């Protein structure tokens, strides 16, 4: 008999907290007939309000809302001046949008290893720096902060920029500061799988006025003519594209932002409960935490000693119906041969020469032994009990 007879709640943190608040917010925009962010017949200016609230939440001087996380990455890299001939160091485990944004700037993505935290390995980053390196892209992967202290040190020593991609860890922090407020510029995503969502959406955060001004022009087709920009823009115009957010997205995000701390609190609590209750199991190694207080708790990851054991472990867990009804994230993060847009081997179309297993062997080894369990904010006490019982049952069988 399986531990459960049905899957766990879905893993769409912000989306599953939609209620009458988001509905009313959207209806207001529709009734106002004003979905465009800069004006309309009964303009509500929700996008500016969201930017103000988000900047306050992250603890930065400037936030710019954009149409997606990928748009935010592209705008941020361009704002940093990334162009043809430059190199940007990205983690071997992130999301395909990371190399895509680098290539969209005409630059070259350079893969670096991750460590047991599933985020950039600072030593490996240092070894991949060349005189062409312009940016280190620190991705706060699967809810948790990268090793910002070390990465910032390397960036400063080499006079290059540090970009924080907070897409998977919106609302997380590092040593008391919100992610996206520490590097030169922060990138955020509000796509459906993220901690808060408008289906699509993104933001850039920074304390640097010049980067903010450049980002404004880059995200709005270099449209310096808008009256609203008169009091803001002080620099010469630069070209851009259209990555503007809509009022519909901003209206939703204003409501979602009010819920973010509660969503994170729920996930963190459940993650800690499960972690504690399975810590008696020998031969599992929990993911390294660069700052346990800053984790948003979206998942629990542990490494087994071999990929074959890890593979068996996740198959057995599925037999117990320990997986999310949204299909979840692959239970074993890397299964050789199985395509996954989070792993550099499947980004070949973004490189000028093949990136094989020898480029980041440590990353592939870690990910092939990494059991990943989604922690939905909707988990109940009974769900937690089932996950813990399931893991114990499978551990007895496999380990
Ligand atoms: C690490 C990371 N960066 C960037 C993005 C791109 O965000 P979006 O899907 O909003 O374009 C995502 C997710 O989708 C992501 O996980």
- What pLDDT digit, counting tens, does each position of 132-160 carry? 999 999 999 999 999 999 999 999 999 99
For all residues of the chain together, what is the average pLDDT? 97
Ligand 1 pocket check: which of 13, 67, 70 to mutate, most ligand atoms within 8 Å of Cβ?
A: 70
pLDDT value at residue 175: 98
Q: Helices 69-79 and 209-219: crossing angle, nearest 10°?
A: 120
Ligand 1 atom with least separation from CA of 201: 10
* Rounded mean pLDDT, 12-18: 98
Is ligand 1 within 6 A of the CB of residue 75? Answer: no
| Residue 200 CA, ligand 1 centroid: distance in Å | 10
Is ligand 1 within 6 A of the CB of residue 202? Answer: yes
Total-model pTM: 0.98
Is ligand 1 within 6 A of the CB of residue 54? Answer: no
Q: Is the pLDDT of residue 285 over 70?
A: yes
| Residue 221 backbone zone (phi > 0: left; psi -120 to 50: alpha; other: beta) | left
Closest C-alpha among 56, 31, 55, 36 to residue 46: 36
Ligand 1 pocket check: which of 119, 172, 191 to mutate, most ligand atoms within 8 Å of Cβ?
A: 191
Q: Which domains does the chain have, with CATH numbers?
A: 16-256 (3.40.640.10), 260-398 (3.90.1150.10)
Is ligand 1 within 6 A of the CB of residue 17? Answer: no
* Rounded mean pLDDT, 272-293: 97
pLDDT value at residue 330: 67
Buried b (16+ CB within 10 A) or exposed e, 318-351: bebbbbbebebbebbbbbeeeebebbbbebeebb
What is each CA distance from 1 to 321, 322, 380, 382, 389, in whole angstroms? Answer: 10, 13, 21, 17, 13
Buried b (16+ CB within 10 A) or exposed e, 95-109: bbbbbbbbbbbebbb
- What pLDDT digit, counting tens, does each position of 363-385 carry? 999 999 999 999 999 999 999 99
* Rounded mean pLDDT, 191-197: 98
| Residue 95 CA, ligand 1 centroid: distance in Å | 6
Is ligand 1 within 6 A of the CB of residue 69? Answer: yes
| Residue 329 CA, ligand 1 centroid: distance in Å | 14
pLDDT value at residue 256: 99
Is ligand 1 within 6 A of the CB of residue 165? Answer: yes
Q: Helices 46-58 and 247-277: crossing angle, nearest 10°?
A: 30
Is ligand 1 within 6 A of the CB of residue 95? Answer: yes
- Structural contact between residues 332 and 314, judged by C-beta atoms closer than 8 angstroms: yes
Confidence tier at 51 by pLDDT (50, 70, 90): very high
Ligand 1 atom with least separation from CA of 68: 10
The C-alpha angle 372, 376, 380, rounded to 5 degrees, equals 115
- Structural contact between residues 78 and 214, judged by C-beta atoms closer than 8 angstroms: yes
pLDDT value at residue 326: 77
């Amino acid at each position: 008999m399986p531990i459960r007879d049905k899957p766990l709640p879905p893993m769409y943190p912000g989306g599953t907290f939609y209620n009458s608040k988001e509905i009313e917010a959207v209806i207001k925009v529709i009734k106002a007939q004003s979905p465009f962010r800069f004006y309309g017949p009964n303009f509500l200016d929700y996008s500016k309000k969201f930017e103000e609230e988000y900047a306050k939440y992250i603890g930065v001087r400037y936030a710019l809302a954009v149409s997606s996380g990928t748009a935010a990455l592209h705008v941020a890299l361009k704002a940093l001046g990334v162009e043809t001939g430059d190199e940007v160091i990205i983690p071997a485990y992130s999301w395909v949008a990371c190399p895509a944004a680098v290539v969209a700037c005409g630059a070259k993505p350079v893969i670096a290893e991750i460590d047991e935290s599933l985020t950039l390995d600072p030593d490996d980053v240092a070894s991949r720096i060349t005189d062409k390196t312009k940016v280190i892209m620190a991705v706060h992967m699967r809810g948790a902060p990268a090793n910002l202290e070390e990465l910032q040190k390397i960036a400063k020593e080499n006079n290059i920029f540090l970009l924080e991609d907070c897409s998977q860890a919106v609302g997380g922090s590092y040593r008391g500061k919100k992610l996206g407020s520490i590097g030169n510029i922060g990138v955020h995503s509000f796509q459906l799988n993220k901690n808060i969502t408008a289906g699509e959406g993104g933001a850039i955060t920074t304390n640097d006025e010049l980067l903010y001004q450049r980002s404004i022009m880059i995200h709005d087709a270099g449209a310096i003519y808008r009256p609203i920009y008169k009091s803001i823009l002080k620099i010469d115009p630069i070209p851009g594209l259209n990555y503007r957010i809509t009022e519909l997205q901003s209206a939703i995000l204003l409501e979602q932002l009010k819920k973010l701390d509660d969503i994170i609190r729920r996930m963190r609590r459940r993650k800690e409960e499960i972690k504690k209750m399975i810590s008696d199991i020998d031969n599992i190694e929990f993911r390294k935490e660069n700052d346990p207080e800053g984790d948003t708790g979206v998942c629990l990851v542990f490494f087994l000693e071999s990929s074959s054991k890890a593979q068996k472990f996740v198959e057995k867990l599925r037999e117990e119906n320990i997986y999310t009804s949204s299909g979840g994230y692959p239970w074993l993060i890397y299964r050789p041969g199985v395509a996954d847009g989070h792993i550099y081997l499947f980004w070949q179309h973004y490189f000028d020469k093949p990136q094989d297993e020898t480029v980041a062997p440590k990353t592939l080894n870690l990910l092939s032994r990494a059991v990943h369990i989604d922690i939905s904010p909707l988990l109940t006490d009974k769900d937690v009990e089932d996950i813990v019982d399931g893991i114990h049952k499978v551990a007895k069988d496999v380990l």
